[in-house]
Each structure stands twice: as structure tokens, then as C-alpha cells.
Amino acid sequence: MPDIRHTPEAPTRTRSLAPGESIDPHRHDDHQIAYAGSGVLAVTTEAGTWFAPGTRAIWVPAGCVHAHRAYGHLSVHFVGLPLDINPLDLDAPTVLAVSPLLRELLLAYTREPHVDTPERQRLRAVLLDQLHASPQQAVQLPAPTDPRLAAVCDVLHDDPADPRTLAALGATVGASERTLSRLFRLELGMTFPQWRTQLRLYHALRMLADDVPVTTVAHRCGWSSTSAFIDVFRRAFGYTPGTHNRRP
């Protein structure tokens, strides 16, 4: 990533981003929590992309070069934490589940003014307690490095509804199904079906943030039926796609 901006402190604040707006690659000396109060947030590094709707937050460790991108009208809440405060001992970007209580704590902590009062210190203590209990979520698209694997991933990024099997996709890039299956596990840490589901969920969130109807999203992302899409989406995010843009 060129032109990397270095901001020593990760600021605690709320920022609004228009659909498609981005924050250029940068890094902080502090850790950062990014929570999308509305819209969908994507955080991208050289290792891949992590994405989060309003039931998820993204942990970005100190020193990690990353960029942000908004899908839908994004209200993102940033919490900066000193280097010595890492409740989950995470050294890579990670998506975390956000309970209703943690959501309210994140919203309250990022409201102005940011004066370090005893009340604010107590608020942060409770926030850290809740963060420590937050389950990690596999809502990520790792970046492939092998050119054959990258070519297959690019094809499906361009058309997530492409129904071809891994063997058929491999024939177009000169790699066997066995080789590609091994590469998916080795480089991306998941099977091909698992990765394709993550890809389709990523594109589904982007479309829903732009108010695309649920039935259309299901079709464009390759699910066999709208009900199948709703089931997978609910299991992944804890709510139905039809309520995505109506969530508080």
C-alpha cells in the first residue's frame, strides 16, 4: 500500500462516511476498535479484508497498515487503546461479536467530549470487560498469494454467483482441483466452500447496504433460493437480511 500515513495515536471519535468513501492506508502506534453503528465497514490490509455490519466490530492492532471503506451510509465509531491494553491478546485484525451492551458502551464512549473524568474511566473499564468476553468471528476474506489461487478468487469476486465447481474453475487457470483445495487450506485457512460462503456474505452485505432487495441479493450472490440465503445470513450475523438497514 503506497503513501502510508502514520498517526501515532488512534483517535477515539465517531466519523460518518458516504457510500463508497474510504480512508487511505495508515497505521497507528495504538490499538483501534472500529464499530459500524450503521452501514457496513470493510478494513483491508495486505493479508486480506475484514468486514462488519452493526453486530460486529473490528480490532486493528497497533502498527498494522490498514484502510477503511464504507458500504451504505456508514457511521463508524473508533476507540483508540494504548499499546499495553489488549484484552484479547490479538496481534492481527479480528472481527468481534458486539452484544447489545457492548454496542451501547462503544456509542457512549465515542461521544464528545472526550475528557478523562472518573466517570469516563469507569465507562472504559466496563467496555474493556465486555470486550474481553467478546467472541471472535470468522468474517474475513484472506488475500491469496499463489497466482493460480488468486485468479480463481478474482473470477468469483467479479461474479459471486458463478456456479462452477473448483475443478471447472481450476481448468481455466491450469490447476487441478486437488492443488487448489490444498492452496485454499494452506493460504486462506479454509476450504473452498467456506471461502465462497464468506465471499458471498461479503458481497451480500455490500448490496444490502445499498438497499438492494433481499431476493435480488440472493440471486446475484449465487444462493439457490432466497430462503437459503436468509438462513445462511442469519446464522452468520444473528439477524435476517431484510432487517439489515432497519437495525438501530
The pLDDT score that the predictor gives to residue 57 is: 94
Adjacent-strand bridge partners of 52: 41
Q: How confident is the model at residue 63 (pLDDT cuts 50, 70, 90)?
A: very high
Do 201 and 238 contact (CB within 8 A), yes or no? no
Do 233 and 201 contact (CB within 8 A), yes or no? yes
pLDDT, average across residues 99-106 = 94
Q: Is the pLDDT confidence value at 8 over 80?
A: no
The pLDDT score that the predictor gives to residue 3 is: 60
Q: Is the pLDDT confidence value at 199 over 50?
A: yes
Environment class of 162 (CB within 10 Å of its CB; exposed 0-12, middle 13-18, buried 19+): middle
| Cα–Cα distance, 84 to 229 (Å, whole number) | 41
Q: Is the pLDDT confidence value at 94 over 80?
A: yes
> What interhelical angle do 118-132 and 100-109 show, nearest 10?
150
Phi/psi at 7 (nearest 5 deg)?
-115, 105
The pLDDT score that the predictor gives to residue 18 is: 93
For 5-137, CATH gives 2.60.120.810
Q: How confident is the model at residue 1 (pLDDT cuts 50, 70, 90)?
A: very low
pLDDT, average across residues 197-216 = 94
Adjacent-strand bridge partners of 175: none
Residue 13's identity, in one-letter code, is R
Model confidence pLDDT, tens digit, residues 224-235: 999 999 999 999
Residues 6+ apart with CB under 8 A from 40: 51, 52, 53, 70, 71, 72, 74, 205, 206, 208, 209
Pure H helices in the chain = 100-109, 118-132, 147-158, 166-173, 177-183, 192-209, 214-220, 226-237
CATH fourth-level superfamily of 144-246 = Homeodomain-like (1.10.10.60)
% of residues, the chain, pLDDT over 90: 78
Query: What are the domain boundaries of the chain?
Result: 5-137, 144-246
Q: Is the pLDDT confidence value at 248 over 70?
A: no
Model confidence pLDDT, tens digit, residues 76-86: 999 999 999 99
| Cα–Cα distance, 197 to 191 (Å, whole number) | 10
Q: How confident is the model at residue 195 (pLDDT cuts 50, 70, 90)?
A: very high
The pLDDT score that the predictor gives to residue 247 is: 59
